[in-house]
Amino acid sequence: MGQAPNSQRIHSLDGLRGVACLAVLLLHVAMMLELWGPDGAYSLIPGTPAVIVFFVLSGVVLSIVPLERFRAGETYDWLGYYPRRVVRLGLPLVAAVALGIAAGYVAWRMGSTGRSATAVAFSGTPRQVVHDVLMQFDVLFFVSDDVQTLFGEPLVRVNSSVWSMGWELWFSLTLPLAVACLARIRREGAAALALLAGIFVSHWCGYFPLRLCLTFWLGVLLARRLPELSARRPPAACEAVALVALLGVIELAQAAQAGLLGPMDALALAALQTLMNVSCAGLVVLAVTDGIVRRALSTRPVRFLGAVSFSLYLTHSVVIGGLEVVMPAAGVTDGLAQACVAVLACLAFAVVFWRLVERPAIELSRRAGRALGESAGRHK
């Protein structure tokens, strides 16, 4: 969920990030409040594809400037980049996890048995509690695919949404490798096929780190063609057909993954899931090309949603988890009313978190990057 520097900002990509975050919000509101019962078809809300869109977007926006410098034969300030990126992601992430731990403790004291209340063994020994709390902050090595860890253990977090932040951090740290590899290739088509082959194998065998990392690399590959894509103006009819087709493939893959299409061969399911990754990348392409989608995503309300999307993503699960306990006690029992209250409360809290935590973190990250860059320049 990275963002480009202000001088390189593409407003439609901000808007796409906001729309994707809204999909994640709606999915978790429906699931956590069980609006359609415990066995509802929640997977049809494209929350998981929205995270794939986040990963592709990060690959695009983080590599725009390094690729431009590479094409111009100039060097990129990687020493300044690292503190900027780590502080930019790390401070809001730590704050969100701490918030989740506090909310989980309150929920546990109120008798809740939800995930946030049981992720930390608050009733255990001090040693166990400290261990569980520290594990909540471990996003680099305690990674998952939002279902299970690398070792097949269930994902247990006070703030379930932060699972993807481990991959954001890993990709951010390895961005120089991605840029160095993909900036030098001559056959982009072959490179894209190689990336998709890796994603297919990952879906087929279940080794999720491969496809999650390669999804970021797809974004870097798209960034190579960003100037050409931005200049293209597709006919409105073609753009509409493409949008419907991309969303259709995403929904089809989601239905298949949930078993709504009946039994499927592992190879066929992997192929469909790979097409979903392609479709998510296709949505990013549509957001860049000069057409209806780009203009719609560049409107002020959608751009505002994009501006607070990171804060919204980090905090919405905590807010919904708290409302699960509070709303019934306050007499709000209607499912639709609960959903409306939850969405509005999450948006309001995201704005507060953005102002108090994320925006100061952005400024601090810029100062940290400048300080290290100036220090390196003095020692040359």
Give the 3-state secondary structure of residue 55.
helix
CB 65 within 8 A of CB 76: yes
Q: Which domain holds residue 10?
A: 6-378
Token representation of residue 347? 């948006």
- Does residue 86 lie within any of the structural domains? yes
* pLDDT digit string (tens) for the chain, length 380 residues: 544 444 346 899 999 999 999 999 999 999 999 999 888 889 899 999 999 999 999 999 999 999 999 888 898 989 889 999 999 999 999 999 999 999 999 888 888 777 788 889 999 999 999 999 999 999 988 889 888 888 888 778 888 888 999 999 999 999 999 999 998 888 999 999 999 999 999 999 999 999 999 999 999 999 999 999 999 999 999 999 999 999 999 999 999 988 889 999 999 999 999 999 999 999 999 999 999 999 999 999 999 999 999 999 999 999 998 898 889 889 998 999 999 999 999 999 999 999 999 999 999 999 988 887 655 555 45
Cα gap 355→358, rounded to integer Å: 6
Name the DSSP class of 153. P
Strands (E), the chain: none
Global confidence as pTM: 0.92
230 part of a folded domain: yes
Longest dimension (CA), the chain: 66
Q: How many domains does the chain have?
A: 1
Residue at 1 is within a domain: no
- Give 239's strand partners: none
154 is a domain residue: yes
Q: Which amino acid is at 231?
A: A
Check residue 3 and give its pLDDT: 46
pLDDT of 60: 96
Q: How far apart are the C-alpha atoms of 350 and 315, rounded to whole Å?
A: 7
Q: What is the pLDDT of residue 64?
A: 93
Whether 125 is in a domain gets the answer yes
Q: Is residue 317 part of a domain?
A: yes
Q: Is residue 133 part of a domain?
A: yes
Establish how many alpha carbons lie within 13 A of residue 260's alpha carbon, considering only the half-sphere containing its beta carbon.
Answer: 14
- Condensed to tens digits (0 to 9), the pLDDT of residues 203-258 reads 999 999 999 999 999 999 999 999 999 999 999 999 999 999 999 999 999 999 88
